[in-house]
Structure 1
Amino acid sequence: MRVVLQRTKRAEVRVNDEVVGKIDRGVMLLVGVTHEDTHEDAAYVAEKVVNLRIFEDELEKMNLSLLDVEGSVLSVSQFTLYGDCRKGRRPNFMAAAKPDHAEEIYESFNKELRSKGVTVETGTFGAMMDIDFVNDGPVTLLVESK
């Protein structure tokens, strides 16, 4: 499992010009799933996301977690995170999980986040989406299960 995490001041995702998910302070997550990913991978990455100390304390040091600041998550499925660009000019997406498996693990991941007390908004799995957000910092990290 591969997640691009971006600390955000606000974020929203639209499908067909309709807002389907919106948050204020928290993290914007682009979530990729590969064939071998399991519910354990989803749980591991969810635990990492909510506990990473990426928010600033009163001394402007990154010492606070998403849980500490009571931040929210905007989680968007992103199969292109497993695009392989090493050969040719067209990415190869063979490492991306098939939609049924990817959706199952993606939903498991979001369930794990919610079970930790985090508000989670999402896009629409498999849809073309427009995402607007303000990257705070900017802070952008890659979180992987393997």
Structure 2
Amino acid sequence: MDKWLFGSVLLQVVLTLLMMVLMGKRRFKAAKNRELPYKAFRVMDLTGANEKVITASRNFDNQFQLPVLYLFAVVFALQFGTADLSLVVLGWLFAISRLVHAYVHVGANHVRLRFAVYVFGALMLLLFWLKLSFAYLLA
């Protein structure tokens, strides 16, 4: 089960790196086309940046919010030896929800759909933590 759980972490890491590349490409293009002055990058003042630059930047930031709680949970699950099928399923559902959330966010950016996917992922993470906590504390 450990390798399957690690696979979901790997998906999250790859997603984060892809969002970093996308953010960089969009920022570079905006600066190159003089849509955003270079000095804006000194303090990351994206005022006046186009929506694509802002959504890519916000999405990259998002990868260091809920996913950090997920990564800690996986480390604990592996350390405690509590990784089972339910945690693997919850982990993959969370990681896939992050992938879908990113796709919606940097794509069409339908706010209602994005929010629904976010809530789904947050619930999977909550269930992961509850299952992990009970498995550890009741062992």
TM-score for the superposition, normalised by structure 2: 0.29
* Larger RCO, structures 1/2 (Cα 8 Å, 6+ apart): 1
The structure that is strand-richer by fraction is 1
The structure that is helix-richer by fraction is 2
